[in-house]
Amino acid sequence: MSDELLKKISERRATVGVIGLGYVGLPLAVEFGRGGLRAIGFDVDAARVANINAGGSHIPDVPTEQVAALVTHGKLEATTDFSKLAETDVVVICVPTPLRKTKEPDISYILAASEQVKTYLHSPQLIVLESTTYPGTTDEVLLPMLEETGLKFDTDFFLAFSPERVDPGNPQFQTHNIPKVVGGVSHKSTEVAGALYQTIVERVHKVTSARVAETAKLLENTFRSVNIGLVNEIAQLCYHLNIDSWEVIQAAATKPFGFMAFYPGPGIGGHCIPLDPHYLSWKARLHGFEARFIGLAEEVNSHMPQHVVRLVQDGLNEHRKPLKGSKVLVLGVAYKRDINDVRESPALGIVDQLLHKGAEVSYHDPYIAEMNLDGKGALASVALSDEVLSNCDCAVIVTDHSTIDYARVVGLAPLVIDSRNATRNLNMPDSESKIIRL
């Protein structure tokens, strides 16, 4: 059965089903289509499905022209009908894996997708989980579910984990040129899954088990979380010592060995870094091990919005103004530059605290038209007019979108809090006195 499936993949006759058509799933389905395979995308959002079938793309990194061409040539379709899983040779699960309020893993989306896969599982078929999760999910949760069908693992079906490595808004690294880690529940499953991804990516790195692949993904983002936590703590320390933290990092980065530059910011956001380390620490606690570094980094990073608000308060105090009643303009609320995603954005905490302390808050973001605040309604993005900039008491750069003219911001706003170092190279020495950097 593995030979039959490998032959269909190598001859580009295989049909690949992708469950979940978000930031991970749609780019992946498009790459499979571009690689010569037929891709069927599955999603519960009927409007999203209709848009894709009409040749549209809701993901900025996926050009509409690519989607339209693949749909026209029959290489890509989207559907809400999960019975079409019966037509697939491969199923890749790309659904969200959020945290519960208790900061424990929520794999309910994986379970729901797997139930659909189980219903239509047939021989031969490859199932790959890409959703970030705790070590053991693939072989402890998915494998027993699929074996309940009576089909035999490694004979009738194959099972692997291959972590997504999507960086929204990154023009240099996208699905096709990011190395793909692949770990099967067995050696045979690894080989079949590796062959699948070799049709669309430049390099496949095979590991000995699904658990290794699951843990590698968590290490990648925990590494970033811990190092960002370190420089965020250094930034707070430098603020107390009246030292420019950005200049410190720039100086340290001249060392050609033994140092990797990370940069401070208003907090961490997105679908990976704020969440993934908790999956690893949760699994560790089940085995009686406390991952203290992970917890400490989370504590430091989650404190950064509060530190930004303190900078606003201190800056206004220098201008003899209280925070309460002051007009604070937040520039950028997406979790990173030049994308339209506000998930876990530090801007949410900053705006919430500013409102709680009595500030009059407005925001401008060219990618986020409206921002919902828990229990406080919604805010709409304002146009970045000269009047808006001149009339605010403080402008806070939270997300450094490339479309914003920061020289104009500094020139018009009476006070600028820069949490992203966006104003560093403006060459406006006369305005430096009204800029406070993180």
Residues catalogued as catalytic: 272
Cα(first)–Cα(last) distance of the chain, in Å? 58
Cβ(295)–Cβ(363) under 8 Å? no
User: 3-state SS string over the chain?
Assistant: CHHHHHHHHHCCCCEEEEECCCCCHHHHHHHHHHCCCEEEEECCCHHHHHHHHCCCCCCCCCCHHHHHHHHHCCCEEEECCHHHHHHCCEEEECCCCCECCCCCECCHHHHHHHHHHHHHCCCCEEEEECCCCCCCHHHHHHHHHHHCCCCCECCCEEEEECCCCCCCCCCCCCHHHCCEEEEECCHHHHHHHHHHHCCCCCCEEECCCHHHHHHHHHHHHHHHHHHHHHHHHHHHHHHHHCCCHHHHHHHHCCCCCCCCCCCCCCCCCCCCCCCHHHHHHHHHHHCCCCCHHHHHHHHHHHHHHHHHHHHHHHHHHHCCCCCCCCEEEEECCCCCCCCCCCCCCHHHHHHHHHHHCCCEEEEECCCCCEEEECCCEEEECCCCCHHHHHHCCEEEECCCCCCCCHHHHHHHCCCEEECCCCCCCCCCHHHHHHEEEC
